[in-house]
């Protein structure tokens, strides 16, 4: 599988994501929105850093179960309950713990609430892999 990350000229280069990714592979992996639960138990009530780390750990588990790796992720959908700009570096801690230097494209949306009042963050994922990988 090949992934090419592109930040076009004339558009500011973001620190935490890439504007464009082209991917070539034979299989797409779609991961449903992951929240801060570990075996059904809420992790980090009121703590965005703890929740972000758990969310991205869950994504890592899902990728592994699908035979995919973090560097094959092309797109994230990030949903933040009661969004505050201060949350960005806290979410980034969890993101970097999974992706390191890989910066998938993303869309971050502030929402009024998620499926449980204590969830602060939910992230869904698209990855592209080759069958032989």
List the chain domain ranges. Answer: 2-129
Question: Residue 70: what pLDDT?
Answer: 97
Residue 89 CA, chain-centre distance (Å), reads 14
Q: Residue 133: is its pLDDT beyond 70?
A: no
Which of 24-28, 30-34, 122-126 comes out lowest in average pLDDT?
24-28
Tell me the CA distances in angstroms from 54 to 4, 58, 80, 105, 106, one per residue in order. Answer: 28, 6, 14, 20, 18
Q: pTM for this one?
A: 0.91
Cα 83 from Cα 86, distance rounded (Å): 9
Assigned fold of 2-129:
60s Ribosomal Protein L30; Chain: A; (3.30.1330)
DSSP E strand boundaries for the chain: 2-6, 20-24, 27-34, 37-38, 41-42, 73-81, 105-111, 121-129
36 and 43 in contact (C-beta within 8 Å)?
yes
pLDDT in tens, 47-67: 999 999 999 999 999 999 999
């Amino acid at each position: 599988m090949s992934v090419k990350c592109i930040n076009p000229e004339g558009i500011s280069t973001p620190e935490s994501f890439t504007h464009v990714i082209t991917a070539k592979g034979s299989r797409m992996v779609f991961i449903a929105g992951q929240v801060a639960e570990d075996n059904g138990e809420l992790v980090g009530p009121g703590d965005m850093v703890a929740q972000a780390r758990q969310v991205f750990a869950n994504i890592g588990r899902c990728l592994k179960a699908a035979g995919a790796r973090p560097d094959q992720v092309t797109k994230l959908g990030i949903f933040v309950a009661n969004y505050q700009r201060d949350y960005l570096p806290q979410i980034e801690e969890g993101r970097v713990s999974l992706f390191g230097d890989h910066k998938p494209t993303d869309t971050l949306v502030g929402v009024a609430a998620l499926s449980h009042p204590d969830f602060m963050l939910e992230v869904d994922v698209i990855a592209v892999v080759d069958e032989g990988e």
